[in-house]
A and B are shown apart, each in its own frame.
Chain A
Amino acid sequence: GQQVMQIPQYQHVQEGEDFTTYCNSSTTLSNIQWYKQRPGGHPVFLIQLVKSGEVKKQKRLTFQFGEAKKNSSLHITATQTTDVGTYFCAGHLSGGSNYKLTFGKGTLLTVNP
């Protein structure tokens, strides 16, 4: 079945350092979404990428969708303690009729102040 893989599983950084998490799919995706889950919280939608090669920015966060629409990345510049949490990518399989959204296992980011 469709799999969405994320690396790294964990990342610990000093405040001010940059952070990147990568997402890869075994199949072409129609789009990819990113969610953030704070400790003890629930996933909260961050952004959706649809076009091949698309790049979107939200303040210090930069999201990219690969040319082949099989991979994506989230980059945070100059991390802050408020960035702590688990970042999930989730992809919709290209084609088909179910529009099933499959989540990766996530990357847990911890930030040392």
Chain B
Amino acid sequence: EAEVAQSPRYKITEKSQAVAFWCDPISGHATLYWYRQILGQGPELLVQFQDESVVDDSQLPKDRFSAERLKGVDSTLKIQPAELGDSAMYLCASSRNRVSEKLFFGSGTQLSVL
């Protein structure tokens, strides 16, 4: 069964450093999502792409976070500079389209900022 690929699986960094996460959605999925999940909480949407276009980034801290999906396939989420409060699981998900489709999640990147 096709899966959403994410890397790295774990990332430890010091505050003020830059970090980047990569996601490759299921082939053919037009919609890609980046969620942040703090331990004990539900996933919180950071950014949503439809093909290469951002359709929702209202919860993305744009002073330090950026996301791109240049060719409408894989995507990169960057944090610069990282802060202690950014420690969380960063989950990528994809769906065939954005119209009420189920989401397929990757295994996530667990970020620890020291």
Residue on A nearest B44 in the bound complex, by CB: A103
Q: Which of A75-113 contact B (CB under 8 A)?
A: 88, 90, 92, 98-106, 108
Contacting pair B42 A103 (CB below 8 A): yes
A42 and B103 in contact (CB under 8 A), knowing A88-B42, A100-B45, A100-B48?
no
Which residue of B42, B106, B107 contacts A106 across the interface (Cβ within 8 Å)?
Answer: B42
Bound together, the chains give a CA A106 to CA B100 distance in angstroms of 20
Contacting pair B42 A104 (CB below 8 A): yes
A42 and B100 in contact (CB under 8 A), knowing A100-B48, A102-B45, A106-B42?
no
Could you say which residues of chain B place their CB within 8 Å of the CB of A35?
Answer: 103
Could you say which residues of chain A place their CB within 8 Å of the CB of B81?
Answer: none
Chain A, interface size category, equals 20 to 34
Chain B positions 47 through 70: 1 when the CB is less than 8 Å from some CB of chain A, otherwise 0: 010000001100000000000000
Contacting pair A48 B102 (CB below 8 A): yes
CB of B67, distance to nearest CB on chain A (Å) = 16
Could you say which residues of chain B place their CB within 8 Å of the CB of A88?
Answer: 42-43
Q: Which of A21-64 contact B (CB under 8 A)?
A: 30-31, 33, 35, 41-45, 48, 50
Q: Which of B79-114 contact A (CB under 8 A)?
A: 91, 93, 98-100, 102-108
> Total interface residues on B, using CB and 8 Å?
23
Which residue of A31, A41, A45 contacts B100 across the interface (Cβ within 8 Å)?
Answer: A31
Extra contacts, 12 of them, besides A48-B100, A48-B102 (Cβ < 8 A), are: A42-B106, A43-B43, A43-B91, A43-B93, A43-B103, A45-B102, A99-B98, A99-B100, A100-B56, A103-B35, A106-B42, A108-B40
Binding site for B on A (CB under 8 A): 4, 6, 30-31, 33, 35, 41-45, 48, 50, 88, 90, 92, 98-106, 108
